Structure 1
């Protein structure tokens, strides 16, 4: 009987763990949709190098700092401070590929937010003999990452692609 009881307890533990796992959050990829009309690409009647050059000039004209620029690959970022204790960074990734229409520019922007967090600590110094004790506190500020998400707004990408289109001919 004791052996059967331990198998039952083991099965109960496995069942309990399975139920706990089922209560967790759903994986993000379950909401992912692969659509043909995604806002992350646009084709231009030009070569891939010319398209990427125009994309780089578009980013520079809007205050982005180019972190890496290869022939058909660009990584840039721009920093924002929308609130006093909140900083945000917009990372921009551009890849240009040859297509049947000339070149297709693929873009992905990621917004990462950081919040200012105050960390405090204390310390004290004592002199031997018990005469003097000098306590002091120390605080430091640090930015803590609170979110990171892909920008999905079609208007945002349309504005970028429209600007790239005007710069291709120049």
Structure 2
């Protein structure tokens, strides 16, 4: 009877400890959730206001990508997509994909905001070997092993490049190309899509 009582008490203690540990892990998981880093603050913007119309703004974005070796996947008056591949290491491949949307702002169609986001996909080489044997009946039961190795790229990571200097350099190049296109001195404005 005493042994049974001790066993029940030990089981109860283990159950309480397990529940509290589970709650702690859950809280830790919630604390480290990716969405918690989404602050939606105006200083972390993926957009820039340009002193140009929608077509000229997106054309500057297209030219900026082309000048850096990007392949244009889609080119429309108000949207551009492009991509470029890199191989920073022997078996590591990286692809950066741009998505650009140009929208008109107040000002009689002479102002436009370019919304730009870039996605970085990381791939690694995966090898698989297929082995077979070939029987040669004319000279007995000799088998000649045949093997073939195939390689494929497997995506191992995908991330939107965060706002910062990467986009600042792209917007600066767009601004210079807009200036070249117009022959004048169009201006760009920091921040979101509001009026200057």
TM-score of the two chains, using structure 2 as the length reference? 0.71
Cα deviations across residues 109-141 of structure 1 (Å, max 9, x unaligned)? 001011011111211133569622222222111
Deviates more, 1:24-33 or 1:160-169: 24-33
Alignment size in residue pairs: 155
User: Relative to 1, partners in 2 of residues 1:163 and 1:124: Cα closer, same or farther, differing over 3 Å?
Assistant: same
The answer as to 2:26 corresponding to 1:22 is: yes
C-alpha distance in structure 2 between counterparts of 1:159 and 1:124, whole Å: 57
The equivalent residue for 2:157 is 147
What is the CA–CA distance in structure 1 between the aligned matches of 2:67 and 2:129, rounded to whole Å? Answer: 41
Give the Å deviation of 1:30: 2.8
The two structures, once aligned, show a CA RMSD in angstroms of: 2.5
Inter-CA distance 123–148: structure 2 relative to 1 (3 Å threshold): same
Residue 105 (structure 1) aligned to one of 114, 118, 125 = 114
Instruction: Give me the whole-angstrom Cα distance separating, in 1, the residues matched to 2:136 and 2:65.
Output: 60
Is 2:146 aligned against 1:136?
yes
Q: Distance in 1 between matches of 2:40 and 2:122?
A: 26
Higher relative contact order (CA 8 A, sep 6+): 2
Question: What are the residue-to-residue correspondences of 1:117-136 with 2, within 5 Å?
Answer: 117-126=126-135, 131-136=141-146
Q: Which moved more, 1:88-97 or 1:98-107?
A: 98-107
Following TM superposition, by how much is the alpha carbon of 1:42 offset from its aligned partner in structure 2, in angstroms?
A: 0.4
**Residue 163 (structure 1) shift:** 0.7
Larger Rg: 2
SS at match of 1:33: coil
TM-score (norm 1): 0.81
**For 1:41 and 1:108, how far apart are their aligned partners in 2?**
9
Is 1:167 the counterpart of 2:171? The answer is no
Structure 1 unaligned spans of 5+: 1-11
